Amino acid sequence: MGRGKIEVKRIENNTSRQVTFSKRRSGLLKKTHELSVLCDAQIGLIVFSNKGKLYEYTTHPLSMTEIIDKYLKVTGSRIPQPNNKEQMRSELSRMKKETLNLQLSLQRYKGDDLSSAQLQELNQLEQQLEYSVQKVRARKLQLLQQQVDNLQRTEKVLEKENEAMYQWASLMSKQQEEINQQQVATMTELKLVGQEHQLFEHFPFYGSSEENHNINVLQLDANLPELQLQSYNQYRIQPAQPNLQESTSDAQHNIYIW
């Protein structure tokens, strides 16, 4: 069963047309290369896509210029050379005219040389200036909004940094307060231990254990009144001039000066 005939006409779908062009171009270049190799033919192929992209093939080692020159020699035709002087004159006059128009437009935008302008030209100039002012204001507002957004982001960052620093300062303050409390407690303990050692130096006791220590302290508390009484008896002062005529019972009640 043979292949159906395809109607040769322009493909309307852009995607399908591009796919078909790629496939047919590859096949054409392949057939051209095969013809050049098999038949030892000198071939030059030039293909332009609908977008203006160039695809070409030439038989090795010839170039496209050599093949075109050979074609011109064989056919006896010539590529027409343009008149460069005339083209340059026309191009120069065109550029001068465009330059004058631009200078005039710039002067009118500045408000100079409006005496020769007609009413329609002035209306167009006014509309152009208003449109330009709107664009300038829109760009200005855009820049201002960007600056405001940047400032708001900077403010948020600074607030976060400030909050972090405040938390760090609070933590350091608490730690310092705890260290101070520990130092005060340590100093108090050291003072108590120093007083206890001083007490042990005045009243030495036997035994080094904690139980003996507690017993010795209790013994010291119990013996304090007796020790005080002994010390008082040692320093008892007799009357300077005793009355010998007093009875023995009255002599026993002498006044002691403590």
- Which residues on neighbouring strands pair with residue 48, listed in sequence order? 54
**Cβ neighbours for 258, distance < 8 A, ≥ 6 positions apart:** 232, 235
Asked if 45 and 17 count as a contact pair (C-beta separation under 8 A), the reply is: no
Instruction: Please say whether the beta carbons of 47 and 31 come within 8 A.
Output: no
Please name the residue that has the structure tokens 């201002």.
Answer: 144
- For the chain, the domains span 14-78
pLDDT digits (tens, 9 = 90+) for 129-183: 888 889 999 999 999 999 999 999 999 999 999 999 999 998 998 888 889 888 8
Cα separation of 219 and 51, whole Å? 119
> Fold for domain 14-78?
SRF-like (3.40.1810)
Single pTM value for the model: 0.32
Torsion of Cα atoms, 113 then 118 then 120 then 124, to 10°: -10
Which residues of the chain are under the pLDDT cut of 50?
Answer: 205-218, 220-221, 223-224, 227-229, 231-258
Q: What pLDDT sits at residue 206?
A: 44
CA–CA distance, 172 with 129 (Å, rounded to integer): 64
pLDDT for res 230: 52
Angstrom distance (rounded) from CA 132 to CA 134: 5
pLDDT of residue 104: 79
The token pair that represents 139 in the structure block: 């760009």
Chain-centre distance of CA 52, in angstroms? 46
Rounded-to-integer distance, Cα 123 and Cα 133, Å: 15
Q: What is the Cα–Cα distance from 91 to 110, expressed in whole angstroms?
A: 29
Return the biggest CA–CA distance within the chain.
Answer: 184
d(CA 179, CA 190): 16
